[in-house]
Amino acid sequence: MLTHERNHIFYVGVTNNIERRMSEHKLATFGTHVGHYNIKKLVYFEEHSDIRVAIKREKTIKKWNKQWKINQVSKLNPEWIDLSLDWDLSKYSKRIN
């Protein structure tokens, strides 16, 4: 789950490569929603080995209201830090540009 600096707009999605996907978000290389709202902060994620399970979970999370999303992040990431801050995303930005 991604958000922006003020933590009140959320983006939920599925990917098979979270580092590459975060690089795309941080570079705002796709999607007007992401670029318009500056949604670049990863505050919550789950890993699933089965894509069908991941997609089902994504659909469930997308149905949550805003407060449920806030509660989930607050419980597992109380400081709302960007969980991708320490990742080396430079290898993906070279491929994108």
**pTM of the predicted model as reported, rounded to 2 decimal places:** 0.83
Q: Output the six-digit token pair for 28.
A: 């705002």
Question: Which band of pLDDT confidence, cut at 50, 70 and 90, is reported for residue 30?
Answer: low
**Partners of 24 in the β-ladder:** none
Give the pLDDT confidence score for residue 8 in this predicted structure.
Answer: 84
Asked if the model's pLDDT at residue 4 lies above 90, the reply is: no
pLDDT tens by residue, 34-85: 667 788 899 999 999 999 999 999 999 999 999 999 999 999 999 999 999 8
Measure the CA–CA gap between 96 and 47, rounded to whole angstroms: 24
Beta-carbon contacts of 7 under 8 Å, excluding residues fewer than 6 positions away, are: 41, 43, 70, 73, 80
N residues, the chain = 97
Query: Is the separation of the CB atoms in 45 and 83 below 8 Å?
Result: yes
The tokens for 79 are 């400081």
What number of other Cβ atoms are within 10 A of residue 1's Cβ? 22
- Residue pair 43/35 in contact (Cβ under 8 Å)? The answer is no
pLDDT class of 93 with cuts at 50, 70, 90: low
pLDDT greater than 60 at residue 32: no
